[in-house]
Structure 1
């Protein structure tokens, strides 16, 4: 796995059932290890500079189904089963902006 100069790798989250892209986050080595260990998708918050378990506040966890690396090993595709809306706006996807 190739992490960037900040020790992060982009992680694209996809709904395991609908295959809809839900969000883009960034994972550190620690957050990736926590994701695998707990089954809860966990990111590195670039704005807060801390580990961020998606759903810890809202209850809308992303439950890990599988992980896949891209061909260059510098991005992760996360297949997850969401417990509720993924976006902080209440939408199922962070890409539901009405322009699609």
Structure 2
């Protein structure tokens, strides 16, 4: 329900923004102008803004994934250690179960 309360207003704002900014703008990939006009792309402003935001999300996600690599490695090592500890406990229990009971 909370997701719906957040996403619906965001979607409405995005639609209003798109309708208000349909004018074409030039996106220039060569600011020096040495390569000519083929480096210029004309598209609606809302596409430029949405594409920039999506690119930022992708770049931010990749940067976060790379930055968290050491934590993922530590988690893998901890899982491996826990698996080895469980195996060792199982072996010790099996050895203990096979011992004859001492009677007095």
Question: Normalised by the shorter chain, which TM-score bucket?
Answer: under 0.3
TM-score relative to the length of structure 1: 0.20
Ranked by relative contact order (alpha carbons within 8 Å, sequence separation 6 or more), the top structure is 1
TM-score relative to the length of structure 2: 0.19
Structure with bigger strand share is: 1
Larger Rg: 2
